[in-house]
Each structure stands twice: as structure tokens, then as C-alpha cells.
């Protein structure tokens, strides 16, 4: 078994630098990548026993056990809808990528691993029409290029939400959330690159009474807009926003960098509260969030807790 803890520890020391490490792997002859922070370990398929499951969902191969914990094994090609010839697969050379995100551990069958890259979020580009991405469908957050090789960055959260809406999604998210008029006075800057998550979260905040909400699809655009408002003094009070709600993984500028720059540069005199809302939240990532000045962290997909957390930071006790 191969673990990636040393890589995680290394990048943990450099929070808020807008850098990211991702692991490049391949399915057929196409290169894909995911954030190293989501990868727990890499196994040879031949080194584990796979147990079949009844009524398995699309793409599910079966269960594997790691330290007695049952983990669903997904065939990533099948899950993404990538056409392939089953007879061409060399089972002895396939690898298993064990991942943890959204508080779930899932394993994915892949054809092989190339290397780990370290780069800046500034180098990520939205998926363009001239990129061959058959099978990626809507499950890509963009691409990054190394030495003329285009690597498609996968959105595994969106894939698992589509395949397992009950365990990875949020059912009945507004149950028990009341609308409070005093929430309308709170000004929120929200950065999230996932259109689906943005839509769900905006709906929850609006329905609960948080109506002063400026939303952006990446940290750089959010930061630029905040700086523009500061320069033009386009706000009442000491600062343009009372709270920043941000994802971590975003093109151009990640959420940790957004938090650090907001706290120490743009709004250093009157820094807003910051909540980091990400599928990557764990003990290690919580330390990274704290190191850049975040006031709270919340792991996706606990959407219903967002309102309670904002209340605790921005409203007087009831």
C-alpha cells in the first residue's frame, strides 16, 4: 500500500500561497487529475480482494476492505461514461485510487498514475471546446497544461452526487430553517466554482433571510470585486462585507488565498469573518484554514449548517 501523507504534510506548511498539488493519472490515453488532498492511498488492484454487492449502482465494481473498513470500489471509466473494450483491460496493471472527500471514502479503478504536479491555481483554465474530453462530460472543473500535455481536472464531488444523491447530497436541506429579518443586514461575499453547489447554497441563504449576497465562481473575481468596492467606497460602515463564504478548490485563486488576502491586505483594518466550506475539510485542512485566519470551517455537504454557522458569527445571540 502507498500513502501520500508526506506530500500532504509538505503542502500543509504553505497555506494561502495559491498553490496546489494534484495527482495525474490516466484512463486509456487521456490524462486526468485530482487534488492530492483527496487521495488517501494508491493500491494495486491485484493486492486486494473485491467483494461483489447486490444491486450495485452504475460503475460500482464491489467492496474492498482497508483496515476492516468496507469501501465502495468504482470503475471510473464506467462512471464517467468513457467507452472501452473490457477485453483490452490488463487487470494486473490496474490501480486503485482511494479517496476521501465529502466525509466519504471511495475507491476508483484507474489505468495508471503518471506523477504528482505542483502548480498555481492561476494556471487552471475552464474546459474549452477544443479539448478532447470524451467521458469527462460535466464532471470537470477545467484543465491545466504541462509540457504541451493537457490534463483534465475531475470534479469527483459532482460525479458522486450524481451517482449517490442520498449519501453525497442534501435531502430536505431547508427543514427547520426559519427566515429571520435581521439576517438581511449581513453582507456576504460568496466564492464557489461549482454551479450546482452555488445554486443550492444561494437558495438556502436567500430563503433563510440572507439576501445581501454577492456570488462569484472563483476567488480572484471575488477578491477583485471586493477591492473595487473598497477603492470606490461603495459600502456603508467600515468594510464592504461582514462575512466571506468560500470553497477551497477554485481556478485563479483558491479559498485559502482569498481568506489570507482579505484578512491581511484588502480588509486588514476591519477584516470580515471567513467560513471555508469545502469537501476537503479534515483535521489537516482545518489547520490550514486556521493558519490563514479563517474563523470557521464546514465540510460539504452539510449545507443546512451554513445558516447556523453564519448566525453564530454575524448575529447577536437570541
Together in a domain, 83 and 216: no
Q: For strands 140-146 and 149-154, give the pairing.
A: antiparallel
Together in a domain, 163 and 245: no
Segment 190-199 shows an average pLDDT of 89
Model confidence pLDDT, tens digit, residues 220-271:
999 999 999 999 998 888 899 999 999 999 989 999 999 999 999 999 899 9
Q: Is 123 within 8 Å of 178 (Cβ atoms)?
A: no
306 membership: H or E segment, kind and range: helix 304-314
Q: What is the mean pLDDT of the chain?
A: 85
Together in a domain, 239 and 273: yes
Together in a domain, 156 and 218: no
Together in a domain, 85 and 193: no
Q: Is 97 within 8 Å of 126 (Cβ atoms)?
A: no
Q: Is 156 within 8 Å of 97 (Cβ atoms)?
A: no
Model confidence pLDDT, tens digit, residues 75-112:
999 888 887 777 667 777 899 999 998 888 999 999 99
What CATH number is attached to the domain comprising 247? 3.40.50.2300
| pLDDT at residue 273 greater than cutoff 90 | yes
Across 228-245, b (16+ Cβ under 10 Å) vs e yields: ebeeeeeeeeebbbbbbb
Domain that holds residue 100: 2-167
Together in a domain, 235 and 113: no
Closest of 233, 237, 299, 295 to residue 262, by C-alpha: 295
What one-character DSSP code corresponds to residue 56? P
Together in a domain, 161 and 185: no
Model confidence pLDDT, tens digit, residues 160-183:
888 877 654 554 455 567 889 999
Together in a domain, 159 and 277: no
Together in a domain, 223 and 122: no
Is the pTM higher than 0.85? The answer reads no
Confirm whether 287 is domain-assigned.
yes
Together in a domain, 128 and 236: no
Together in a domain, 20 and 81: yes
Q: What distance separates the 2 farthest-apart alpha carbons in the chain?
A: 67
Together in a domain, 161 and 17: yes
Confirm whether 172 is domain-assigned.
no
Rounded Cα gap, residues 24 and 33, in angstroms: 4
- Give me the number of domains the chain comprises: 2
Confirm whether 174 is domain-assigned.
no
pLDDT on residue 282? 86
Confirm whether 205 is domain-assigned.
yes
Amino acid at each position: 500500500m502507498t500513502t501520500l501523507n508526506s506530500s500532504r504534510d509538505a503542502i500543509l506548511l504553505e497555506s494561502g500561497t495559491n498553490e496546489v498539488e494534484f495527482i495525474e493519472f490516466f484512463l486509456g490515453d487521456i490524462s486526468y487529475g485530482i487534488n492530492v488532498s483527496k487521495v488517501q492511498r494508491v493500491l494495486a488492484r491485484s493486492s486486494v480482494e473485491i467483494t461483489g454487492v447486490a444491486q450495485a449502482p452504475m460503475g460500482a465494481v464491489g467492496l474492498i476492505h482497508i483496515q476492516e473498513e468496507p469501501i465502495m470500489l468504482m470503475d471510473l471509466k464506467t462512471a464517467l461514461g468513457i467507452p472501452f473494450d473490457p477485453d483490452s483491460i490488463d487487470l494486473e496493471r490496474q490501480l486503485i485510487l482511494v479517496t476521501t472527500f465529502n466525509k466519504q471514502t471511495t475507491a476508483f479503478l484507474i489505468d495508471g498514475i503518471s506523477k504528482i504536479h505542483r502548480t498555481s491555481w492561476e494556471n487552471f483554465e475552464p474546459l474549452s471546446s477544443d479539448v478532447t474530453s470524451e467521458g469527462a462530460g460535466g464532471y470537470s472543473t477545467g484543465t491545466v497544461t504541462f509540457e504541451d500535455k493537457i490534463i483534465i481536472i475531475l470534479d469527483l464531488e459532482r460525479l458522486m452526487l450524481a451517482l449517490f444523491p442520498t449519501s453525497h447530497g442534501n435531502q430536505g436541506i431547508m427543514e427547520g430553517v426559519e427566515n429571520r429579518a435581521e439576517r438581511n443586514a449581513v453582507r456576504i461575499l460568496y466564492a464557489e466554482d461549482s454551479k450546482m453547489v452555488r445554486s443550492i447554497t444561494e437558495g438556502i441563504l436567500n430563503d433563510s433571510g440572507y439576501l445581501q449576497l454577492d456570488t462569484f465562481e472563483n476567488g480572484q473575481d471575488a477578491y477583485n470585486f471586493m477591492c473595487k468596492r473598497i477603492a470606490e467606497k461603495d459600502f456603508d460602515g467600515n468594510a464592504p462585507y461582514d462575512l466571506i463564504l468560500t470553497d477551497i478548490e477554485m481556478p485563479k485563486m483558491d479559498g485559502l488565498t482569498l481568506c489570507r488576502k482579505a484578512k491581511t491586505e484588502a480588509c486588514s483594518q476591519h477584516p470580515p469573518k471567513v467560513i471555508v466550506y469545502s469537501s476537503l475539510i479534515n483535521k489537516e485542512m482545518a489547520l490550514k484554514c486556521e493558519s490563514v485566519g479563517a474563523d470557521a470551517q464546514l465540510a460539504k455537504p452539510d449545507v443546512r449548517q451554513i445558516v447556523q454557522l453564519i448566525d453564530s458569527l454575524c448575529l447577536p445571540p437570541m
